[in-house]
Chains A and B, each alone.
Chain A
């Protein structure tokens, strides 16, 4: 059973369109992270959400943490070809040496066509 269910797995859209990626779980988390990964590179942290109901914005990206801290979403407004990549949600281990140990969702491969 996957701890984090991420959807959709693939998304192919035209430049200028909006999109939303979802990350759901039956577990409650103290925080959740979103990463973006380009081919041949390691993931890069976009944001960490901590508080239930929290909304964070990063330019055209809007991240939301569910009120119950079980789910999160990433919304991109007016997508651009430069947004193309693999988007991953992740949660960290609870304590001790588990800090920094991440469990990832399945990932969403986003392709934005010019």
Chain B
């Protein structure tokens, strides 16, 4: 089956620093990847759609200058949380769907727990 890998699984950073999270599709190509954020005991909320070779599309209320997304290849998207603050602490999850597939199934990474201190 399709595998999506996120790195790191968890990270602790100081307030004001930036953190990069990687999302890789290991055995398929993904033109589109999605980034979600999940607070404790809550559901997943879509932050942005990452498009290979073009700008990401952000959901309403998500600051594009704070959450930088780069999708430079068909197997890698990165999310950089810039100038992180404690309120950015959350579980960040990416998903990817296979390029040129009519299947709507998207495969999820294992998530990244970000703690800003």
Q: Which residues of A contact B (CB under 8 A)?
A: 6, 31, 33, 40-45, 48, 88, 92-93, 97-107, 109
**Contact indicator per residue, chain B 40-79, by CB within 8 Å of chain A (1) or not (0):** 0111111001010000010000000000000000000000
The docked-state distance in angstroms from the alpha carbon of A105 to that of B43 is 7
Given A40-B111, A41-B110, A42-B110, CB of A100 within 8 Å of CB of B105: yes
The docked-state distance in angstroms from the alpha carbon of A32 to that of B7 is 29
- 12 A-B pairs whose Cβ atoms sit less than 8 Å apart in the complex: A31-B104, A33-B105, A42-B93, A48-B105, A97-B49, A97-B51, A99-B32, A101-B34, A102-B106, A106-B42, A106-B43, A107-B42
Which residues of chain B come closer than 8 Å to A104, judged between CB atoms? Answer: 43-45
Given A33-B105, A97-B57, A101-B32, 7 further pairs, Cβ under 8 A: A42-B93, A42-B108, A99-B102, A99-B104, A100-B96, A101-B34, A101-B49
Q: Which residues of B contact A (CB under 8 A)?
A: 4, 6, 9, 31-32, 34, 41-46, 49, 51, 57, 91, 93, 95-97, 102, 104-106, 108-111, 113
**Interface residues of B, dominant DSSP:** strand
The docked-state distance in angstroms from the alpha carbon of A48 to that of B105 is 9
Q: Are A109 and B41 in contact (CB under 8 A)?
A: yes
Chain B residue nearest to A6 (CB atoms) is: B43
Which residues of chain B come closer than 8 Å to A33, judged between CB atoms? Answer: 105
Q: Which of A40, A43, A104, A106 gathers most chain B CB within 10 Å?
A: A43
Q: Are A100 and B110 in contact (CB under 8 A)?
A: no
Given A88-B44, A97-B49, A103-B46, CB of A44 within 8 Å of CB of B95: no
Q: Are A102 and B95 in contact (CB under 8 A)?
A: yes
